[in-house]
Homo-oligomer: A and B are copies of this chain.
Amino acid sequence: MKKETFVTKEKLDEIIQQVPTPFHLYDEAGIRKNAQAMKEAFAWNKGFREYFAVKANPNPFLIDILKEYDCGCDCSSMTELMLAKAMGCAGERTMFSSNDTPPEEFQYAYDIDAIVNFDDITHIQCFEETVGTFPKTMSCRYNPGGLFKISNDIMDNPGDAKYGMTTEQLFESFRILKSKGVENFGIHAFLASNTVTNEYYPMLAKVLFEVAVKLQKETGAKIKFINLSGGVGIPYRPEQEPNDIRVIGEGVHKVYDEVLTAAGMGDVAIYTELGRFMMGPYGCLVTKAIHEKNTHKRYIGVDACAVNLMRPAMYGAYHHITVMGKENKPCDHMYDVTGSLCENNDKFAIDRMLPEIDMGDVLVIHDTGAHGFAMGYNYNGKLKSAEVLLKEDGSFSVIRRAETAADYFATLNDFPIYKKIIEG
Contact = CB atoms under 8 A, between A and B. Distances in A.
Contact of A417 (B60, B161, B378, B402): B60
6 contacts: A55-B342, A60-B412, A102-B340, A120-B295, A156-B344, A375-B377
Interface of A: 53-55, 58, 60, 75-80, 82-83, 85-87, 97-103, 119-120, 122-123, 126, 143, 145-146, 154-156, 158-166, 169, 290-293, 295-297, 299, 301-303, 305, 310, 313-314, 336, 338-342, 344, 346-347, 374-384, 400-403, 405, 407-415, 417, 420-421, 424
A161 B314 contact: no
A403 B414 CA distance: 12
B314 A80 contact: no
A332 to B, nearest CB: 22
Contacts of A413: 401
A351 to B, nearest CB: 10
A352 B364 CA distance: 42
A110 to B, nearest CB: 15
A74 to B, nearest CB: 9
Given A85-B424, A293-B122, A417-B87, A100 B338 contact: yes
Given A126-B291, A143-B295, 17 more contacts: A55-B380, A76-B380, A77-B381, A79-B408, A82-B424, A83-B381, A86-B417, A99-B338, A99-B342, A101-B291, A122-B293, A154-B344, A166-B296, A376-B377, A376-B378, A400-B411, A401-B413
A77 to B, nearest CB: 4
A115 B166 CA distance: 59
Contacts of A159: 296-297
A88 to B, nearest CB: 9
Contact of A166 (B101, B295, B303): B295
A100 B291 contact: yes
A99 B55 contact: no
B82 A293 contact: no
